[in-house]
Amino acid sequence: MIDESLMLDANGIHMHATTTGQGPVVLLLHGFPDTHIVWRKQIPVLAQAGFRVLAPDLRGYGRTDAPPHVLDYTLDKIRADILGLLDALKIDKVSIVGHDWGGILGWQLASMVPQRVERLVVLSTGHPKAIAHAGILQQLRMAYIPLFCMPGIAEATLRAADWFALRQFTSEPGQADFWKRDLGPPGRLTAALNYYRANLKLALPQSYPRVKVPVMGIWSDRDPALGEKQMRDSAHYVDGEFRFERIRDADHWLQLTAHERVNALLLDFLGAKRSTV
């Protein structure tokens, strides 16, 4: 099994990624406040199943560059990073697994550049239009976002009392220590929060091409930020196959706290496609 750490030039920044295994490429896209490390329970399983697993640190995270300005973090730039990474590695087409902001990026890539996407799996995050139209209860779930958009105040709140607030995010042992380590260096926490500050327009209905690739949405019933409706309603924006899966007794970081169930679903959905080629 090939396991390699890469530093590549993509879209004008230095981007870090790991690549593991050989075979059809599965691209893993993390969200806030993670790095590629959040996929540590998926990478070996997918690689062992015959996939090449590509797991980057997105702009601002991990070992990838963190540009200084809020508008450096608009989703059009981050999408360009990902496509630049694939181009640098001469990868034409991937299956995408995205979580949180990585899920939003997955929806956008599948919609806007479908020729580069084989299949899409989204964890937690439904289609952006489904989130926007999910109603007042979903808006209440996301009431933390205005705080995240307050420069200085958000950083101070998250760092307070040895990152106490961050430690409440997940029940996964040791995960908060990764967050503290990776967000601690100067500028890194601000870079992560800039995803919210640069993309507030996502709260408004957007015009996206309909998604034509097969999609599986996986939602966990202990996710405080994202409700079931926004994931189920994502089917309205997909032409063709849309598969919904609910995982019980798992928090927002279901790839960690329910990894065995998530991995089984990934192998089934991604493997079904492989068996036909």
- Residues taking part in catalysis: 100, 196, 252
Sole residue written with tokens 């997955």: 106
What does the alpha-carbon distance between residue 180 and residue 166 come to, in Å, rounded to a whole number?
8
Q: Please list the residues that pair with 245 across neighbouring strands.
A: 218
Cα separation, 34 vs 14, in Å, equals 18
Please give the Cα distance from 67 to 231 (Å, whole number): 32
β-pair partners for 242: 215
Q: Quick one: tokens of 84?
A: 């630049």
Phi, psi (deg, nearest 5) at residue 239: -90, 120
CA distance 44 to 20: 8
Q: Is-contact 117 96, C-beta < 8 A? A: yes
Distance, in Å, from the CA atom of 132 to the CA atom of 151, rounded to the nearest integer, reads 24
